[in-house]
Amino acid sequence: MSKAPTSTLYRQAEYDIDPVYLNRWSPRSFLDKDVPEDVLWSLFEAARWAPSAFNLQPWRFVIARTPEDREKFYPFISEFNLAWCRKAPVLVLILSQRVSDRGDNLSHAFDTGAAWGFLALEAVRKGLITHPMTGFDMAKARETLGIPDEYAIQALIAIGYQGPREALPDGLQEREQPSQRRPLSSFVHEGVFGRKPAGKE
């Protein structure tokens, strides 16, 4: 197995967790290197096992891994994101099915987010990087790729191997490091909204 990029020099957990969570971040520098098919499919295999309400599994992935398919994606990606994601060997549009034979699926986005999380963590295990984006024209993506209205467009992700920071445009090089997170006490409430957990005041 490939060694995953390490970011624990930048990040420290408050409590003991597996390092895979700290090592997952969103670089923008990609190597011009293809992802082997078995490695790529292992990411979607991980996503397949995410939990979902009533086991509806509402997630769908439209992948572009050939030059011809990636060219279809480029026109709906913002100029800012296109400046760095052109080197990514795989682009994936994440969709969620809004309806099922039960009617409206109120947790379609929540469940699809879980599948994306599983995919992103498996990517780290395989020595890959992922970068999610919402900076693209969703209406144009829907039209270009023929996505039916019953599917919500959630995000676009780039997948590949991490490249050097120096390969990015000057304005992005300084941002090419793992970001920090808020402390637990800032987002966990106990009993009622607004009450900090005991011992976290």
Average pLDDT for residues 128-148, to the nearest whole number?
97
User: Does residue 1 register a pLDDT over 50?
Assistant: no
Average pLDDT for residues 25-42, to the nearest whole number?
94
Contact 11, 111 (CB under 8 A): no
Phi and psi, residue 130, nearest 5° = -135, 150
Q: Return the minimum-mean-pLDDT range out of 1-5, 22-26, 86-90, 145-149.
A: 1-5
Domains in the chain: ranges and CATH: 28-162 (3.40.109.10)
Q: What is the pTM of this model?
A: 0.90
157 DSSP 8-state letter: E
Q: Which tokens is 20 given?
A: 């895979």
What pLDDT is attached to residue 3? Answer: 42
Phi and psi, residue 61, nearest 5° = -130, 125
Contact 154, 113 (CB under 8 A): yes
- For 155-187, the pLDDT digits (tens) are 999 999 999 888 988 888 888 888 888 888 888
Phi and psi, residue 131, nearest 5° = -140, 115
Q: Which tokens is 18 given?
A: 């597996």
| C-alpha angle 173-177-182 in degrees, rounded to nearest 5 | 135
Average pLDDT for residues 12-26, to the nearest whole number?
88
Q: How far apart are CA 8 and CA 23, in angstroms?
A: 7
What pLDDT is attached to residue 101? Answer: 87
Give the DSSP letter string of 100-118: ETTEE-TTHHHHHHHHHHH
Residue carrying structure tokens 């597996």 = 18
